[in-house]
Amino acid sequence: MIKLPIATIVFIFILSCKNGSGVPDGVLPPKKMQTVLRDMMRADLFLNDYVLSRDSALNKDSTRINTYSQVLLLHQVTKSNFQKSLDYYKHYPSTLESILDSIGKAKAPTELLEHKKEIIEDTLSTINAHPESIDTPYRQSQQRKKLIKQL
């Protein structure tokens, strides 16, 4: 009698287990899809603004295909895997919309550089305020020299 509820719970648990992201196998999870799509969009902007607009002799289609293939290779995603994922997300517009919205809300590279600049300036001001707290190889060698002179 007790075995039936336990077996039912185990069965429900096994059925509810997925790959963690709620998407079927072979489909990129939303975060990965976001990064791949973001880089695809960046590559497309680069092509339009700097490559194709300046060299009319290039075959636009083959140049785009080569560039997109490089982006997929960078993310270790196959063309068929990306296409399958894109088709999947087209059937779930709210999820695709949230992926695309998160791409727009991501910090631009210049904003990230400004943030890094602030961190570096803060670190440098801390170092300048308390230089004795930094234990660098140079400082260690100077301390060794002082010890040798004392001996």
Q: Looking at the domain assignment, is residue 47 inside a domain?
A: yes
Residue-wise pLDDT for 90-100, tens only, equals 999 999 899 88
Quote the domain boundaries for residue 47: 26-108
Q: 81, 26 in Cβ contact below 8 A?
A: yes
Q: Looking at the domain assignment, is residue 60 inside a domain?
A: yes
Residue-wise pLDDT for 2-40, tens only, equals 555 554 554 454 444 544 557 788 899 999 999 999 999
Mean pLDDT on 121-125: 67
> How many distinct structural domains can be found in the chain?
1
Q: Looking at the domain assignment, is residue 68 inside a domain?
A: yes
Q: Looking at the domain assignment, is residue 37 inside a domain?
A: yes
Q: Looking at the domain assignment, is residue 136 inside a domain?
A: no
The pLDDT-based confidence of 53 (bands split at 50, 70, 90) is confident
Residue-wise pLDDT for 57-78, tens only, equals 888 898 899 999 999 999 999 9
Q: How far is CA 9 from the centre of its chain?
A: 37
Q: Looking at the domain assignment, is residue 33 inside a domain?
A: yes
Q: Looking at the domain assignment, is residue 40 inside a domain?
A: yes
This prediction has a pTM of 0.57
Q: Looking at the domain assignment, is residue 97 inside a domain?
A: yes
